Every structure is written in C-alpha cells, then in structure tokens.
Amino acid sequence: NPAAKITQALKHRHPGIPVIAFPREAGEGYVGFAKATGADCIAIDNSVSAEWVAQNVQPDSCVQGNLASSHMVTGGDDLIIETKRIVNALKGGPHIFNLGHGITPDANPDNVQIMINTIRNC
C-alpha cells in the first residue's frame, strides 16, 4: 500500500505531527482509508456529500473538507447554505472545514470572508 508507506515515512521523519491524506475522488475508497494508511485525518473532495462522509468516514477518522471550490467564485446564498450544510452534517465528530480541492485564481476574496463568517456563526 503506497499511501501507508508514505504515511509511515512521514510519521517516522516528523513524529508528533498529524498526517492529513487526500485520496482525491476516492468515493467508497474513503471508507477505511485512515485505518489502512495510518493517516490521522482524511481530506474529502466534493465528489461525496458531507452527510455520506459523516456516516461512512467520520466515525473512524477526522475529516477535512469538502466545500466545492466553485463557491469561492460564485458566492451568494448558495455559498452560505452549502457552508452551513457541511458544518451541520459534520459537527458530530472531528472536522476541519476546508475546500474540497483548493482555491482557484478567480476566487473572490470577499467570498472567502463570507465563508469564514458563516462557519463562525454556525
């Protein structure tokens, strides 16, 4: 398992520092990934719903994600609604709020602030 070997090497080289693994677009493969690799947290893209993650991944691992990056461009009510949905779906376990796959150059910085404010007010 290459991911397990990489995780073990990172933990050996940097003991005490948590490892966040990102098995991009893993779908069902997210289930059990933390146990299989030794990762401390699993980054989740937006190919799966936060509700699915809460049921299938979060019971075994910290999760990070999974707001679609496009919301940083489009903003509006959809950004606020989706941010709240993710926070509420994943509030039952360890969760690091993040985008599902990075911020794009066309993102509006005002939308980043709206997202942060929404998270703080959840």
**Number of folded domains that form the chain:** 1
**Nearest Cα to Cα of residue 68 among 16, 7, 25:** 25
Range of the domain at 94: 2-121
Residue 31 DSSP symbol: T
pLDDT of residue 77: 98
CATH label of the domain that carries residue 33: 3.20.20
Whether the Cβ atoms of residue 42 and residue 57 lie closer than 8 Å to each other: yes
What distance in Å separates the CA atoms of residue 83 and residue 41, rounded to the nearest whole number?
20
Q: What is the mean pLDDT of each run of 10 residues along the chain (122 residues)?
A: 96 97 90 95 96 96 96 98 98 97 94 98 96
Residue 3 amino acid letter: A
What distance in Å separates the CA atoms of residue 55 and residue 90, rounded to the nearest whole number?
9
pLDDT of residue 53: 97
Cis preceding-peptide flag for 66 (omega within 30 of 0): yes
Decide: helix, strand or coil at residue 121: helix
